[in-house]
Chain A
Amino acid sequence: MIRFDNVHKRYSDGTHAVDGLDFEVEEGTTTVLVGPSGCGKTTTMKLVNRLEEPTDGTVYYDGTDVEALEATELRRRIGYVIQDIGLFDHMTVGENVATVPELKGWDADRTDERVDELLDLMGLPPGEYRERHPSDLSGGQRQRVGVARALAAGPDVMLMDEPFGALDPITREELQDEFIDIQREIDTTILFVTHDINEALKMGDRIAIMRDGKLVQYDTPTALLDEPKTKFVEEFVGPDRTLKRLRVLRVEEVMRPEVPDEYADIVDAFQGNDAVVADGGEIVPVAPTDSAQVALSRCIQAGVEALPVVEDSTVVGVVTESAIRNRQSEGA
């Protein structure tokens, strides 16, 4: 969807912000650019919507050299979310979200409908929020409006530059989780910039680690944790790689789709009640999309070796502590 072909960006002061970048952001994926500050990740992102122009090399958008496209036209096809949010404070929430549809000349009915739909999606009921001004909202709500505004005209690509960076940890976590759900619904190609490796591991299907304008490693989160290619990546990922793997590993990847006899009592106990008191504590089931970390922590808390996996209130299998453990040692 987006391809960088030997892209360089040098500034007149001599800074080599992007140094020979070669990689492709695949359609439908969330690709995270991550690295220490000053590594060129934001510049790389801005090369896509032409807020920056490469000094050498070519950036392709859907097969076309971006230089060959009209900058404003290109930008209207790309959603853009920044850390400082940049809402238009003089407009209402609804007017903010309507920005790109209006620039594109949609008719008023279609725009209104779309605005309401997006506010609903972002958990801001239109009846309550559409006519309010951004200054009335909390930081988290403001960034929700920022995301809604970027999604308004149904972009093929979203560029998100540390979108949750300025929020408090709790709100950040909340918005990350919500955005992961939204992302499944909208199926857009996302290029996401962050300096936080945990956020990268959580949000990304693919992660591009950058340093000094160069791509150091481009891999899936699991591959990155299993096989860091350089010392730098290893240090950047941190010494607790094994624990981080638990976070990217989903229950559905390690669960058993049937209930073996030895765990039947745990499942039975669970099915009797919503949460059953076992030896240690109550058994809280997990969902297939939960992380192995959640499953493991609930196992330990309840003092059991396995947990039922529940989807739409039916038991679809079990996940065992040993399965998680085995998977982890395979990786390491």
Chain B
Amino acid sequence: MLAAVSFLGELLSFAAENAGRLARLSYEHVAITLWTLAIALPVAVSLGVVISYYERAATVVLWVAGVLMTIPAIAFFGVLVPVLGIGNPPTIAALVAYAQLPVIRNTYIGLTQADDAAIEAGTGLGMTRLERLRRVRLPVALPVVMAGIRNAVVILVGLAAIGAFIGAGGLGDFIFYGISAGDTAMIVVTTVALSALALAFDYAFGVIEQWLRLRNGEEVDRAVLTRTLAAVHARLS
């Protein structure tokens, strides 16, 4: 009991003493994650759109994206570091690869979800293929795509820690340092920060997903933040 209390004290004092550095590392961590999303999403969503038109390509693309996910990060770095150097670029490149499967898959599933009758009506009323995509298929798919992004982002936040191994910074820095220095408090506090970050991303993207579903007229169990935003929105309009 006493040992537990004193360990907790150790953790708190570590967190207090290193708050500034933890904040900086968290910021780097978020930056890596966001850069990854900025590159990965356009690629993955475009691929998802393309394979929704070409059924046969779908199997191949989803299979390749699945294989990418099974490649260990260390192996990726081995190939990427000689080409891209060390630091952020190879880390982001590897993370972009990991983000593909959940986003491509959900885009593909979301796009094939639109009601056949709605597609037929759209065609019959004079929508071109692009207009059907933009006005019917994409809006219906968007919440599903967002669920995929949410899925990817949680994976990315965790994986981004490994980037520290090749000098990318982020919270991984403290974890690696803690391991080599045998500093348990450092490892535990950083891991908690990492999990909190992942949960925060998960929640934020979850709220966006709910908002998209509400806009499409779907019924959802609203999260607290969604309810709050809806209330604010109602107040303003």
Contact = CB atoms under 8 A, between A and B. Distances in A.
Contacts of B116: 84
Chain B interface, >50% SS class? helix
A90 B140 contact: yes
Contacts of B122: 86, 88, 99
A73 B131 CA distance: 13
Interface string B123-148: 11111100100011001100000000
Given A89-B140, A90-B139, A133-B217, 19 more contacts: A72-B126, A72-B127, A80-B121, A82-B121, A84-B117, A85-B117, A85-B121, A86-B117, A86-B119, A86-B121, A88-B118, A88-B121, A89-B216, A90-B136, A90-B140, A91-B139, A103-B127, A146-B121, A149-B121
B183 interface: no
A100 B126 contact: yes
A73 B115 CA distance: 24
A99 B125 contact: yes
Interface residues of B, number: 23
B127 A86 contact: no
B124 A92 contact: no
Contacts of A146: 121
B121 to A, nearest CB: 3
Interface in B144-181: none
18 contacts: A49-B124, A51-B120, A75-B125, A76-B125, A80-B125, A86-B117, A86-B122, A88-B121, A88-B135, A88-B136, A91-B139, A91-B217, A92-B217, A100-B126, A103-B126, A103-B127, A133-B217, A136-B217
Interface in B17-48: none
A75 B126 CA distance: 5
Contacts of B136: 88, 90
Contacts of A88: 118, 121-122, 135-136
A86 B120 contact: yes
Contacts of B135: 88, 99
Contacts of A74: 126
Contacts, number: 76
B217 A72 contact: no
Interface centre among A51, A85, A89, A146 (most CB of B within 10 A): A89
Given A72-B128, A75-B126, A89 B121 contact: no
Interface in A36-59: 49, 51
A135 interface: yes
A130 to B, nearest CB: 13
Contacts of B120: 51, 82, 84, 86
Contacts of B118: 86-89
A89 B136 CA distance: 9
Interface centre among A51, A88, A135 (most CB of B within 10 A): A88
Nearest to B123: A51
A150 B121 CA distance: 9
Contact of A86 (B115, B126, B139, B140): B115
B166 to A, nearest CB: 44
A204 B122 CA distance: 27
A11 B116 CA distance: 21
